[in-house]
Every structure is written in structure tokens, then in C-alpha cells.
Amino acid sequence: MAEHVEAGRMKVFALNSNRPLAEKIAKAAGVELGKATIKHFSDGEIQISIDESIRGDELFLIQSVSDPVNTNLMELLIMVDAARRASAEKINVVIPYYGYSRADRKARSREPITAKLIASLLQMDGVNRVIALDLHAAQLQGFFDIPVDHLQSDRLLTSYFENSTTLADEDIVVVAPDHAGVSRARRLAELLGAPIAIIDNRSDTENAAHPEAVIGDVKGKHAILVDDIIDTAIRITVSADALKKAGAADVYAAATHAVLSGDATQRINDSVLKKVVITDSIQLPEDKQSDKFVVMSVGDMFGKAIDLIYHEEPVDSLFHKAPKRQKQ
């Protein structure tokens, strides 16, 4: 007689994009990473096998859709298909970095909305829930017809500045690198009890950043530039230059996703930025690391979220915190 296996167990699996983070997430969730084999053939095809029974279990599949974006996306889609065919009861995908998130609207004629395409592919593949971090636009949640738990790194990023012995609360100003980033800057400013400023950057893309002025008082203050993604690092570094010219004492940056394309790390190293606080939502290869980076791990946040979701409890306690009162 076959041994009875309890149904509905939590199982966490990692794909290839960010295994160090996956290990932290599994540890915080109180489980071991599941066993799976992921092979890439010489022509680029991907083969995945799940090396343990998952029948009737609730799965959490961890994969950032980061460089190489299309390979990591296909790994995730193939893993979901494998899990569904192996009779998993629920399939939750944990996406610390949602690739293609910037393609969230038609900015020009005959342009795709790729972020919506990714959402459709995940749903058609059989995903039951998505757990994401700091989506480029919160409206991306509406691209899905399944539950989306949208975690935020605001508390994690601000903890660095709150615990810094060199930053005095009354001398901090939180800065949006453009007008589109004001809401994000305001959230961090409320947590820090600080005022905000805005870089008057009217360029359409990060690669063409040309700040014209700084709106707000930054003179003599510790300026903290806030963004969700650092890609080429052009916008963040030219914004830092603008702040220094406006009289800021020093300039920090805080961003969730360190994409760091091309010469981004070198550009940051050569900039006036003092420190750049990022998360480990994307694994940084050795050639993209820098002494200026302060990496805060989102592993504990995701691990706790997984545990709460598995036990059908709300996750909002992970990212809500009473804001500080601004000093008069």
C-alpha cells in the first residue's frame, strides 16, 4: 500500500535568476528549497524536471525576470507548466523583479504593452497568484485577473537612513529624480519625517536625462534620490550633479531594483553619489558590484509574505508603518 502523503504542504522552488535570494526567502519561510533540475541545451532550449512529488501541494516559485530577461521568463513559464502537470494544488509565482514592467502603456503608435503580455502568459500558464515587489507602476496589478500581492521596499530602504549615525533627521530631504517619481519620494519622506524636492527633468527617457532645475530647498541638506529602478544610472547621476550644484551637502540614492545595464556601475563610481542603497531583488554579478552600494535583502520580507499567504493571513503588516511627524 502506498504511503499516505499529507496534501497541501508549502513548497518553495528556486529557478536560476537569483538563487542566493531564494535561499534567504526559503529560510525566512521556514522551509528547505524544493528539488528541481534546470538544464539549458546548446541551442538555448530549456529542460526542467521537478525531482520530488508535489501532488496536492502549494508551490511558491521564485524567479526574477532580470538579465537574461527572456531566458529567465521562459524558465518561469516552463516551471509553472511542469508544476501544473505534476498536480500541484496551487501555483504562486514570486517575482522580486518584474521584467518588462516599464512597457506598461502605449507611449507611441503601434507599440506593444509588454507588461500586460507577460501577465497574460502567466495566467494562461496556470498561475494562481503573483507576489511582486515595487512594480514600476502599481496599476500593473490590474493586468492580472488573479490575486497580486504587491510588496513595497519603502520600510527596508528607509531603515538604512534611520540607522545611519551620519544623517540627522532635520537635515534630510527626499528627492524625486523627475515629476513621475513624486509619489514614491513622498512615501519615503513620510517614513523619514522629511520634506521632498523634485528634479525638474522633462526628458522622456532615462538615457536623455537633462535636469533643468531643482524644485524645493536642498541647500546644506543630505539629499536622498529615490527611484524604483536604476538601469543605465544616467538619470540618477545627473540628478545628483544637479543637487550638488543646488547646494546639497551630499547626495545619496535609494532604489529597489539594480538593473545596472552597460557602464552603470562605473558611472555611479565616478559620480558625486556618496552611497546607493539597493535591494537584492536582482542578483549582482561581481563585475557590477561597487563599494558605494549598500544592499538590503528582501529575503525576510518575501519569506514572511509566503508564510502569511500560505496560512491565508493578510500581508499588509509587512510594509505599513506609522510615518514620522515632520519637524517644524
pLDDT digits (tens, 9 = 90+) for 16-45: 999 999 999 999 999 999 999 999 999 999
Greater pLDDT, 327 or 293: 293
When pLDDT is cut at 50, 70 and 90, the band that residue 315 belongs to is confident
pLDDT digits (tens, 9 = 90+) for 181-190: 899 999 999 9
Q: Return the closest-CA partner of residue 24 out of 326, 305, 321.
A: 305
Could you tell me the strand order of the sheet in which 293-296 lies? 214-215, 196-199, 172-176, 222-230, 250-258, 273-279, 293-296
CB of 49 closer than 8 Å to CB of 27 = no
Residue listed under C-alpha cell 524636492: 197
Q: Give percent of the chain above pLDDT 70.
A: 91
Evaluate if residue 169 carries a pLDDT over 70: no
Q: Can you give the pLDDT at residue 5?
A: 42
Tens of pLDDT, residue by residue over 82-105, are 999 999 999 999 999 999 999 888
- Measured CA to CA, the distance from residue 299 to residue 319 in angstroms comes to 14
pLDDT tens sequence across 262-278 = 999 999 999 999 999 99
Strand residue runs (E) in 90-234: 90-95, 129-133, 148-151, 172-176, 196-199, 214-215, 222-230
Residue 323 is predicted with a pLDDT of 52
Q: Cα dihedral sign for 69, 71, 72, 76? A: positive
pTM of the model: 0.90
State what percent of residues in the chain have pLDDT above 90.
80
pLDDT band at 7 (very low <50, low <70, confident <90, very high): very low
List the strands of the sheet with 58-62, edge to edge.
Answer: 10-14, 58-62, 90-95, 129-133, 148-151
Structure confidence by residue, pLDDT tens digits, 60-88: 999 999 999 999 999 999 999 999 999 99
| Residue 32: per-residue pLDDT | 95
Q: What is the average pLDDT value for the chain, to the nearest integer?
A: 90
User: What does residue 277 show for φ and ψ, rounded to 5 degrees?
Assistant: -90, 120
Residue 115: predicted pLDDT: 94
pLDDT at 1: 41
Residues 127-161: pLDDT tens digits?
Answer: 999 999 999 988 899 999 999 999 999 999 999 99
Give the mean pLDDT of 229-241: 94
The 10 Å Cβ neighbour count of residue 311 is 8
- pLDDT at 8 exceeding the cut of 80: no
